[in-house]
Structure 1
Amino acid sequence: MVSGSTPLQFLHGEWVVRRDITDRRSGHNGLFTGHASFEWDDVRETLRYEEEGELRFAEHRGPASRRLVYVAGVGSAVGVRFADGRPFYELDLRDQRWGADHLCGADLYTVTGLITGPDSFVETWHAGGPGKDYDLVTYYSRPAAFSAR
């Protein structure tokens, strides 16, 4: 995080997104590429997260999107909510890294994240249980930082 900024200030704005997918059950790998934006919702005092791009997984190739809401908590804590407001997970960016769990039925989703620079962070998910066994590794970079590579 940039020194002196809050977690929501760090996240605010446009990001280039690359997500690598490894599904051990099916044996397939996939890739999502696209962009994401964290935009202020002044009425609710939150950040709206919107992601759009292309998903390639096994034989599938097509558009994909998702939406989340980020809510400021105490200090460096941030509540992540599904688009309909249901709780998803909590993260704390105090040490420029975070970890959390989300139980969905009998499947456990575990996330870890790391801020890798003033314009980049990486988030890793593992989903495991009777219905799932996959990993997602998502790389976020500011468009200017991405084009400089």
Structure 2
Amino acid sequence: MPDVLAYLAGSWTVERTARDLAGNAEGHFTGTTAFMPLDDGEGLLHHESGTFTWRGTARPAERTLRFLPGDEPGTARVTFADGRPFHDLDLRTGRHTADHPCALDLYRGEFEVDDARHWRTRWRVAGPTKDLILTTAYTRHVTGGPVPSISSGPRYP
């Protein structure tokens, strides 16, 4: 895919599974993510909202990130809402791996584009305070407008 920001722009349905490997528990998040242009036009505001169910208790959940142009054309720098760095994102080949150290734990994210309407992430979180796998599937909302194209390359299983 030639431009990650162009690909992500728009609204997506989100389905996430959170598995706590240490406690053998599993939770689910269902919601939507919108990637909207930032006020300055330089990047996208990512706002995710929905319901997270953990051990039978459902609660509203949301998060906000910023996806900014990366150092190379077609890439992005992802930051938290307050501007702290999170990770880089380069999906020009359809796949990317990123690390994010958080205190003593390490988040390792694997990103894969399936096609113009589907992509997914898998975060493995390991360290002294967390032992998790977070798996997320994104499906683009189609409203009759054009769907951004991706380069003609292999479809990733």
Q: Distance in 1 between matches of 2:111 and 2:39?
A: 26
Please report how far the alpha carbon of residue 123 of structure 1 lies from its aligned counterpart in structure 2 after TM superposition. Answer: 0.4
| TM-score, scaled relative to structure 1 | 0.91
1:45 aligns with 2:33: no
Say whether the 8 Å CA contact 2:75–2:90 is kept in structure 1. Answer: yes
Query: In the alignment, does 2:13 pair up with 1:16?
Result: yes
Distance (Å, rounded) in 2 between the aligned partners of 1:40 and 1:22: 32
User: Is 1:86 aligned to residue 84 of structure 2?
Assistant: yes
Deviation at 1:122, TM superposition (A): 0.5
Greater shift in the superposed pair: 28-37 or 5-14: 5-14
Residue aligning to 2:32: 35
Residue matched to 2:64:
67
Letter in 2 for 1:50: H
Moved more, 73-82 or 113-122: 73-82
Which runs of at least 4 in structure 1 moved beyond 3 Å after TM superposition? none
- Aligned-residue CA RMSD in angstroms? 1.4
Q: What corresponds to 1:138 in structure 2?
A: 136
3-state SS of paired residue (1:144): coil
Shift in Å, 1:76: 2.6
Distance 2:55 2:136 in 1: 18
The alignment's TM-score, normalised by the length of structure 2, stands at: 0.86
SS at match of 2:142: helix
> Which whole-Å CA distance do the structure 2 matches of 1:121 and 1:44 have between them?
24
Matches within 5 A, 1:93-132: 93-132=91-130
Q: Which residue matches 1:57?
A: 54
Q: How many residues align?
A: 142
Partner Cα distance (2:142, 2:54) in 1: 28
